[in-house]
Chains A and B, each alone.
Chain A
């Protein structure tokens, strides 16, 4: 007869379960048609710009560090829990003895993986044309930027009904416009800190000459901080929320 008491949870269970769930969800993500199509599109764009467009490494870097990661993050991040609700598989992980915050975090980071995988190799190829230091900056910018944007858009997916539209508006008006403004206002955007890490200052526009990169450490802390804070906020919301899965 099984013991009619709640079995003790081993120390570090949530973390181990989250690590396993991240790997599980990552494998599922990488099998999705959306990821395969995005991979074909990204490779196509890179080859086209490199051969036909003869783009310079810095231009390629800007695209793969600043341009594509937020768009891919919007695509993969904003519907994180919606897919599980629509296909009604959410019941399975949520009836397990793992904190929902951990399961949510693992799921979001699994969604961030294709963003990183689809941009970092191309950012490296672009950066190596300008030296290993630039390539390292590009890797940091694309990776941390991709993760931070994914976490942010996943949070909006928990808070509002149309996260994709909100995300597009955010990228166009907040990141696109404010990110080019020098000084304090510009530093309120993620793109400024990605630019700072990757050393990719704006080359055109009214404020290009006046733009200064934030200190490296500040950008590092801001991007990691935004990722962690948005993960935590959304995780708390997921923990408190009832997910009514209907037939």
Chain B
């Protein structure tokens, strides 16, 4: 199956600075998180996919077409740019409607689609407000509305949660997941890792213009065999459980870190998930919590951006 977004050997220079370096990437339906520190090349990659920039080397494609040279391909794209810039004098609704009309819709169709998109991002009641009078969160939601109003199969969201309040963030996370569940290809960049994690488990890590890792967060973490997992197990008698677990091959260390909490360091998360509850069962202990601080996106991110490999 053809990927919806594809970069093949893409490099991009800005003067002497290499923003992207030989990037190969395929993105299919569903939500994919694009992660990396500032200046890592995330926005450059987004702009290449959106036909705003041309690669110096390699090729990018949007549903098989060159988005820079074939503007017709942009019918399939919705772009929420990073910058908080608008036609300030317009109302939110007029802004979305005007940009939707550029996709070839009549005035009536564009109005209908703009209204539906504003409703979907929770801006239905505020659509008549001028953009200059809106809060940052409202502007952010309006910017997302213009990206999805024409019902595109590919949506690029560059830092879409910036400025949104906690309630709006939760709503927008649901919205992004919903877009992915509908079968759209959604590429979303963000600095806020737990928000990306709430949207998707499929991520692309980018650093110094190179893709460092790409795939499911749990599979990626499992590949890092030189980095053991820490597991926090809450049981009534952690010391007794520790003595039992240390005999297992995959367990590297155990430590009681708080009253009733045992930290187990293991090389095999899957085996630990099987063996720890079994050991607790043999000791007639009830496991009340089982978490791994190293299995989340943040720990993976920290590892990948601190690694020089």
Contact = CB atoms under 8 A, between A and B. Distances in A.
Interface of A: 1-7, 9-10, 13, 16-17, 20-21, 24, 28, 31, 87-89, 91-100, 242-245, 247
Nearest to B29: A4
Contacts of B102: 17, 20-21, 93, 96-98
B62 to A, nearest CB: 8
Interface in B27-53: 29, 50-53
30 contacts: A1-B182, A2-B151, A2-B184, A4-B4, A4-B29, A4-B63, A4-B185, A6-B64, A6-B72, A9-B75, A9-B104, A17-B104, A20-B98, A20-B102, A28-B89, A31-B89, A91-B50, A91-B81, A92-B81, A92-B99, A92-B146, A93-B102, A95-B52, A95-B79, A95-B81, A97-B103, A98-B71, A242-B53, A245-B83, A247-B82
B271 to A, nearest CB: 39
Q: Tell which of A89, A91, A92, A97 has the most Cβ of chain B within 10 Å.
A: A97
B201 interface: no
A115 B80 CA distance: 35
Given A96-B102, A97-B104, A9 B72 contact: yes
B116 interface: no
A105 to B, nearest CB: 14
A97 B71 contact: yes
B101 interface: yes
B77 interface: yes
Contacts of A92: 81, 87, 99, 146
A58 to B, nearest CB: 41
A2 B63 CA distance: 13
B82 A97 contact: no
Contacts, number: 100
Interface in B54-77: 54, 62-65, 71-77
Q: Tell which of A21, A100, A243, A245 has the most Cβ of chain B within 10 Å.
A: A245
Interface string B91-128: 00000001101111000000000000000000000000
A6 B86 contact: no
A247 B85 CA distance: 10
A96 B51 CA distance: 10
A25 to B, nearest CB: 10
Contacts of B53: 242, 244
Q: In the A-B complex, list the 7 residue pairs whose CB atoms are closest, starting with the nearest.
A: A1-B183, A96-B102, A88-B85, A97-B75, A97-B74, A95-B79, A2-B153
Contacts of B104: 9-10, 13, 16-17, 97
A100 B86 contact: no
Given A1-B183, A6-B63, A242 B52 contact: yes
B101 A17 contact: yes
Nearest to A242: B53
B253 to A, nearest CB: 45
A241 B292 CA distance: 49
B152 interface: yes
Nearest to B89: A31
B58 to A, nearest CB: 15
Contacts of B14: 244
A91 B87 contact: no
Given A4-B29, A97-B71, A91 B83 contact: yes
Contacts of A28: 87, 89
B85 A96 contact: no
Given A17-B104, A244-B53, A3 B153 contact: yes
B83 A99 contact: no
Contacts of B73: 6, 97
B144 to A, nearest CB: 13
A16 B63 CA distance: 25
Contact of B54 (A9, A17, A88, A242): A242
